[in-house]
Structures are given as structure tokens and as C-alpha cells.
């Protein structure tokens, strides 16, 4: 499709704003015509109006040629041919006076108004009023998807190939989900292939996955591959404040789909209308449940809707009504997971096609450093890298911009304008160094990617760890290692600055450690005293504080035991961190000093520093945090050297 096809007036019809302009011009023209018609009755008798005394003077002068005398007006013509008119008074001498001056006299009959003209004069205001009202209602109908006279009309939008064709080539990183949906495409292309063997295509497919994993993109790819009409609507578009509107819109949507069958109907965020019935406060008669009932009937009721495939997406499958998920409705649930490292490489490569890249950019390195990222997160990462390069005035996006964008996405934007005292900076440096030292000496901990004391987001500093590979389950030893790493910052503050100088900076660390320990005890059965019993509160819908799921039941004694076990596990991590930092106090001072001097260190630099090697770190430029050649960190530093004050525990 070329650009000319999109322009109004080139075969594409009149644009909406032009139609509105023409309607308003017609309304104004009608008003002007009405005013003109009313005024025309008074101006029909054209001529110069003169006073009656002037009229008598003209008669005396002999300049009046003829007159026509009516009941309300006298019209006439001067000898020069000019017309005039005047309004009479009771004067019995007028006719003899005219005869004396040889003026031709005629009687002017009263004008008889036509019955049609009278009807037009009386009905024209009402016609104009109805026209304006009709125009306003049409505008409401366009803006509200049915307006005052059409609330029950479906708001589903039909997408065609002209609006950007998406195929499976545009979907990367979720190969298993794509393969499951290719069967639907084959059915739409060749239905007889399945009908020969008595097979029936699933009537519906439910895409389940976290936000940003590509559920909507998959649905559009199915329509693009099959080449059939594609209707899209959101679950919230069904429900209105008026009872019965949602059910009416469901019926209308399926009526539209039948006319375009075979077709695909995509319902995004179906949990807005498909939640458990009977869980609310409407006793089963509220608007949302009526809409769901109608949707259930349309999908699998007495009347078959052949050729219509329903695809829905949600990230909350646990709240959907069981009747919606049974065979015959959403027969197939397709899980759209977060991509693994190979999937992330493909996704990054797809988004990099539109970005001019420098030779040092490696998609695999970017993918390895972004575990847990969804497709939308990776798209945002590439976009942030391009924006960063543009701000720096570069023509190519290099690996440095991708690293900076990754830090911004994962840790937040740098807050270099934040003013911190020297004591606060030292406290932050030792806090982050405590996390890093414990992580290095815990064998089960993930490797350190970066440590920084530059404030980012809501944190004053951060130690980022990245796994070497994607993990789908966690072992007990790694959980204990994570607990020790989480408590390393607080322990470092206490070891270096004393018990009374411990700050509130470890609040998020304590929250993480407590949550992890609680899950270990109540969900994963990793407490010998509590045993392999689940005591976690189930996650379900909540109305006015009451959960629709069965709450966890336990005695007071069990609850006390769980609290004791959680405290014991967290304190075990704290004691482990204290032992490691006490044993490696020199490394703690060395790393904290390096952070104070250079603010940001990579994982490899931290390893070399702890091993006593020269890391070859070049001095950082304070504006861009990019290195400047010339200096390197010496192999050894004493605890009371330039990196900080002597340790209270002694060197």
C-alpha cells in the first residue's frame, strides 16, 4: 500500500473532520435561510418608504404617476419611474385629491398566504432543531461506540492487513508457544485437513504469561499468517454501568464475527470479565457475571459458531471461572513464559534491526546480563541504549550505551545530583562492600556483576549479581548463601562503625531475607521442626478483606514455631555474614576504599582486587563515569591507609 492510499480524497472517502465541517455549514445555511424568509415578508414590496405628508406633497407637485391603495400600505410610481411606498391614515380626501391631479388609482388586494408557506414557516424551526439533535447523537455514537441509542453495540475493532501485517517471523524467543498456535493457522488455511480424520480444532486458546511476554503479538501473528479478519477487544470494554449492556455487546461481537467467518476474535485481559462467579457481592446478578454467562453461551451453547476462534490473554489465570476453561471453550492453555538466554538473544536481535550498531555490540553478552527480562523489557533496553547514544551525539550505539541502559533499567537512573556527606558515603561504601565480600566467599552465590555507591532509584548504592545461566529452581545452599549476602551490608556497618551506628539502609535487605526465610518454612518445607507442610496463605481474590480461597489453618503453637524458625534462619545468615567479614576484614577495607575512590567497580575488578592483583583500573571521568587512562590500584592497602579509617577490630 502506498502513501497515496491513506490520503483523504484519493479514493479513500471524505475524512471525518470534513464531514463535520459540511454538516455545520449546512446547519448555518439553514438558519440563514430561515431568517431571510422571515425578513422577506417585510421586504417583498421593494421601494423607498416615505411619510404620508411627503406623499401628499408629491401629489401636489404632480410627480406621482400612479398609486395602488391597500388596507395597510400605499405603493406607487413617480413620473421618473422610481417606486415608492407609504402607510395610509384615515383620509377621505385622498381619492378626490388624486383624481384632481390625474393620478391613476388602483386598489391593492390583501396578499393571501399559501397554506404550504404557512406550514413551512411554522415547521422550519422544528426541522432545524431535529437536524441539530440528530447530528449530536451521531457524534455521540462515534465517540462512545454506539452512543445513547446503541450502548449494546460491540466495541470490537477489526484489524486488516493494511494496518501492519505481523507474522511468526516477528515473534522470537517463545518457540514452544508459537508451535502450539501454528496448528490454528493450519486449520484456518485448510480446514478439510483436520475434518477428514474427524478432528475438531480447539474453539479457544488462552494465552497465559507475565506482562510483556508477547501474548498480544502472538495473537496478531496468527491472524497475519492465516490471512483472516482479526477482531480485537479488551475485557473491560464489555462492562458498563447499565445492566445488560455487556451481554448485548458479546452477542453483537459474535454476530459481526459470523459475517466475517472464518475469523479470529482476540479478547485481551479477559480476567476483567471472566472472574469466578459468585465471588462478588452481586449474588450472581451483577453486570459482570451476566456478561460472562453470555460469553460462555456464545462460545459453547446450543448454537454453534463455526469458523470463529477465540483467543484470550491474561496474566491471572488463577482467578478465571472454571466454566471458561473447560474443554469446548478454551480448550488449550498456551503458556507464554519469559524467554531463556537463547530466546533473549533472538528478541534482542529483532529489536536491534532498526538501530545502527557499533562493531563491539554482542547480543549474547546483553542477553546473558538480562535474566528474567521479558520481550517488552528487552525492547525498552534497546530503546534506552539508542536514546543514550543520541544524547551523547553518537552516530552508532555501542556496547557502553547498552551497559548504561541495562543499569538504568535494572537499578534505576543515577542520582549524581544527590548531596551526601562524607560519613554517609563511607557508610554506603562499607555497606555495599559487605554485600560484595560475602558474595565472593559464598560458593553458592551468583557472581557479582557490578558494585556501585552512586545513588540509583531509591537506593544509595547497590551490588548487582547476575546468574551464569537461567535457573528455574533454587537449592537450599543457594538460599542460605542469599540470606548471608543480604545481611552482609548490615553486618559490615556494625563491624566497622559499631553497634550504635547501624543505619536504616538495610531495611530492604531485611525485608528480602525475612520473605525468603518465610517461604522456606511455610512453602518449601525446609525447616526440620515445622516439616514438609504448607502453611502459606493461598493467593486468591479478596473482597472486603475476605479471601475467596481457603485460608491457611494453624494453631497458635504452630504459628509461634514458624516465627521462631524464620528468626533462626535469618539470624543464621547474619551470623554467617559476620564470620566471613571478620575473617576477611582486610578485603572489606580494601574494597570499601576502592568504591570511595572510583564509585563503581565491575565484578572482574572486585575479584582481582581481592586476589591482590592490579586491576588496571583507569581513573573515571566524573561526568560520564567513563575511564581515563593513567592510574591503577596498588596490590595492597593497609586498613588505616587512604581508603578509610582503622577498623575497630584492629588490623
570/580 Cα distance (integer angstroms): 16
C-alpha cell at 262: 472464518
Q: Does 227 show up as a binding residue in the annotation?
A: no
Active site residues: 432
C-alpha cell at 394: 553518537
Angle at CA of residue 484, ends 483 and 487, nearest 5°: 85
Q: Does 444 show up as a binding residue in the annotation?
A: no
Q: Does 421 show up as a binding residue in the annotation?
A: no
Burial 150-166 (b: 16+ CB within 10 A, else e): ebbbbbbeebeeeeeeb
Q: Does 582 show up as a binding residue in the annotation?
A: no
Q: Any idea which residue has 587512604 for its cell?
A: 642
C-alpha cell at 446: 551468583
Q: How far is CA 540 from CA 270, 291, 343, 532, in A?
A: 17, 22, 32, 22
Q: Does 431 show up as a binding residue in the annotation?
A: yes
Sheet holding 83-86, edge to edge: 48-49, 83-86, 74-78, 64-69, 104-107
Cis link prior to 344 (omega < 30° from 0)? no
- Give the list of residues 6+ apart from residue 9 with CB closer than 8 angstroms, or none: 15
- Give the list of residues 6+ apart from residue 554 with CB closer than 8 angstroms, or none: 535, 562
Q: Does 5 show up as a binding residue in the annotation?
A: no
537/626 Cα distance (integer angstroms): 48
C-alpha cell at 447: 557472581
Phi-psi map region of 257: left, alpha, beta (phi>0 left; psi -120 to 50 alpha): alpha
62/102 Cα distance (integer angstroms): 9
490 burial class (0-12, 13-18, 19+ CB within 10 angstroms)? buried
Strands, E assignment, 298-345: 308-314, 332-335
Q: Does 216 show up as a binding residue in the annotation?
A: yes
Q: Does 16 show up as a binding residue in the annotation?
A: no
Q: Does 509 show up as a binding residue in the annotation?
A: yes
**Count of C-beta atoms within a 10 Å radius of residue 496:** 27
Q: Does 435 show up as a binding residue in the annotation?
A: yes
Q: Any idea which residue has 494453631 for its cell?
A: 555
Sheet holding 204-208, edge to edge: 157-159, 230-234, 263-268, 308-314, 204-208, 332-335
141 burial class (0-12, 13-18, 19+ CB within 10 angstroms)? middle
Q: Does 213 show up as a binding residue in the annotation?
A: yes
Enumerate the known binding-site residues for Zn(2+): 431, 435, 509
Which residues carry a binding-site annotation for ATP? 209-216
Binding-site residues: 209-216, 431, 435, 509
Amino acid at each position: 500500500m502506498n502513501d497515496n492510499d491513506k490520503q483523504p480524497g484519493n479514493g479513500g472517502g471524505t475524512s471525518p473532520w470534513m464531514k463535520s465541517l459540511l454538516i455545520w455549514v449546512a446547519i448555518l445555511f439553514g438558519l440563514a435561510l430561515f431568517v431571510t424568509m422571515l425578513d422577506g415578508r417585510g421586504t417583498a414590496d421593494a421601494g423607498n418608504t416615505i411619510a404620508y405628508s411627503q406623499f401628499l406633497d408629491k401629489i401636489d407637485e404632480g410627480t406621482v404617476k400612479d398609486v395602488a391603495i391597500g388596507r395597510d400600505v400605499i405603493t406607487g410610481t413617480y413620473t421618473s419611474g422610481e417606486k415608492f411606498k407609504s402607510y395610509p391614515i384615515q383620509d377621505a380626501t385622498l381619492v378626490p385629491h388624486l383624481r384632481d391631479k390625474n393620478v391613476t388609482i388602483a386598489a391593492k388586494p390583501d396578499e393571501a398566504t399559501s397554506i404550504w408557506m404557512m406550514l413551512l414557516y411554522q415547521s422550519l424551526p422544528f426541522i432545524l432543531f431535529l437536524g441539530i439533535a440528530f447530528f449530536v447523537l451521531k457524534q455521540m455514537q462515534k465517540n462512545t461506540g454506539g452512543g445513547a441509542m446503541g450502548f449494546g453495540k460491540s466495541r470490537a475493532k477489526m484489524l486488516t492487513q493494511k494496518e501492519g501485517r505481523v507474522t511468526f517471523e516477528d515473534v522470537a524467543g517463545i518457540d514452544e508457544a508459537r508451535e502450539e498456535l501454528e496448528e490454528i493457522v493450519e486449520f484456518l488455511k485448510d480446514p478439510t485437513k483436520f475434518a477428514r480424520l474427524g478432528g475438531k480444532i480447539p474453539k479457544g486458546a488462552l494465552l497465559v504469561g507475565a506482562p510483556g511476554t508477547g501474548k498480544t503479538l502472538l495473537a496478531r501473528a496468527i491472524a497475519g499468517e492465516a490471512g483472516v479478519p482479526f477482531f480485537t477487544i479488551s475485557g473491560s470494554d464489555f462492562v458498563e454501568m447499565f445492566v445488560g449492556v455487556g451481554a448485548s455487546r458479546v452477542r453483537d461481537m459474535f454476530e459481526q464475527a459470523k459475517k466475517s467467518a472464518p475469523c479470529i476474535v482476540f479478547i485481551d485481559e479477559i480476567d476483567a470479565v471472566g472472574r469466578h462467579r459468585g465471588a462478588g457481592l452481586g449474588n450472581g446478578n451483577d453486570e459482570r457475571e451476566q456478561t460472562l454467562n453470555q460469553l460462555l453461551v456464545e462460545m459453547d451453547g446450543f448454537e454453534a459458531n463455526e469458523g470463529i476462534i477465540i483467543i484470550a490473554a491474561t496474566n491471572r489465570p488463577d482467578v478465571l471461572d472454571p466454566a471458561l476453561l473447560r474443554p469446548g471453550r478454551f480448550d488449550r492453555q498456551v503458556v507464554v513464559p519469559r524467554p531463556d538466554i537463547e530466546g533473549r538473544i533472538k528478541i534482542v536481535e529483532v529489536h536491534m534491526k532498526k538501530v545502527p550498531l557499533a562493531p563491539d555490540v554482542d547480543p549474547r553478552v546483553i542477553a546473558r546480563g538480562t535474566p528474567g527480562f521479558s520481550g517488552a523489557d528487552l525492547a525498552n533496553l534497546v530503546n534506552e541504549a539508542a536514546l543514550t547514544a543520541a544524547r551523547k551525539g553518537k552516530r552508532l550505539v555501542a556496547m557502553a550505551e547498552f551497559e548504561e541502559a541495562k543499569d538504568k533499567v535494572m537499578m534505576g537512573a543515577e542520582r549524581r545530583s544527590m548531596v551526601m556527606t562524607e560519613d554517609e558515603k563511607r557508610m554506603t561504601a562499607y555497606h555495599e562492600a559487605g554485600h560484595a565480600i560475602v558474595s565472593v566467599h559464598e560458593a553458592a552465590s551468583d557472581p557479582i556483576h557490578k558494585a556501585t555507591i552512586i545513588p540509583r532509584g531509591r537506593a544509595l548504592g547497590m551490588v548487582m549479581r547476575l546468574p551464569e545461566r537461567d535457573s528455574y529452581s533454587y537449592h537450599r545452599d543457594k538460599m542460605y548463601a542469599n540470606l548471608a549476602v543480604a545481611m552482609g551490608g548490615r553486618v559490615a556497618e556494625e563491624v566497622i562503625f559499631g553497634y550504635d551506628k547501624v543505619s536504616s539502609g538495610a531495611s530492604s535487605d531485611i525485608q528480602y531475607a525475612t520473605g525468603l526465610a518465610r517461604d522456606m518454612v511455610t512453602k518449601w518445607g525446609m525447616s526440620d521442626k515445622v516439616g514438609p507442610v504448607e502453611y502459606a496463605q493461598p493467593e486468591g481474590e479478596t473482597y472486603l478483606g475476605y479471601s475467596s480461597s481457603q485460608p491457611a489453618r494453624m494453631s497458635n503453637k504452630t504459628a509461634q514455631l514458624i516465627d521462631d524458625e524464620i528468626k533462626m534462619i535469618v539470624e543464621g545468615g547474619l551470623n554467617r555474614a559476620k564470620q566471613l567479614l571478620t575473617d576477611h576484614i582486610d578485603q572489606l577495607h580494601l574494597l570499601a576504599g576502592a568504591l570511595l575512590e572510583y564509585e563503581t567497580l565491575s565484578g572482574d575488578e572486585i575479584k582481582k582486587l581481592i586476589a591482590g592483583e592490579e586491576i588496571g583500573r583507569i581513573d573515571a571521568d566524573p561526568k560520564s563515569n567513563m575511564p581515563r587512562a593513567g592510574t591503577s590500584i596498588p596490590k595492597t592497602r593497609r586498613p588505616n591507609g587512604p581508603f578509610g579509617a582503622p577498623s575497630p577490630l584492629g588490623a
